[in-house]
Amino acid sequence: MPTPPRPAPSGAAPAGGPTEPQLAAAADTFSMLASPARLHLVQLMSTGRYDVGELAEKVGLSLPTTSQHLRKLRLTGIVSATREGRHSYYTVDDPHVVELVEQIFEHIAPDGSLAPDPPRKERR
């Protein structure tokens, strides 16, 4: 008689699924990207490095508001900053975040509707 499977330890992934810490971290990342302003900032920073003034101008926010968004993004590890003299330059270094942002804007058409999926390759 086969032995029944043992339950996964607390916080472990059930049957190969994500762990509780992974789910929490993913939810935190998505909550940071759920703000249109923060998503716009991340999209910009995934293409290069900017100081807070450049970002505020491009996104159309005040300097204090942009700084607050950048602080939240830095605390969650989505954005990094490099200090050079009196300026801090912000960027997104994580290729996974860059790819996630690129993919969502490939999936959303300019009018906000879902873009059609590319044709699927046939499996052999």
Angstrom distance (rounded) from CA 45 to CA 40: 9
The CA-based angle 54-57-60, given to 5 degrees, is 145
Angstrom distance (rounded) from CA 112 to CA 73: 24
pLDDT of residue 23: 96
Of 59, 64, 7, 8, give the one whose Cα is nearest residue 35: 59
Say how many C-beta atoms besides its own lie within 10 A of residue 69's C-beta: 24
pLDDT of residue 121: 74
Go through the domains of the chain in sequence order and give each one's CATH number.
Answer: 30-107 (1.10.10.10)
Per-residue tens of pLDDT for the chain, all 124 residues: 544 444 455 555 557 899 999 999 999 999 999 999 999 999 999 999 999 999 999 999 999 999 999 999 999 999 999 999 999 999 999 999 999 999 999 999 889 998 877 777 766 5
Angstrom distance (rounded) from CA 37 to CA 55: 10
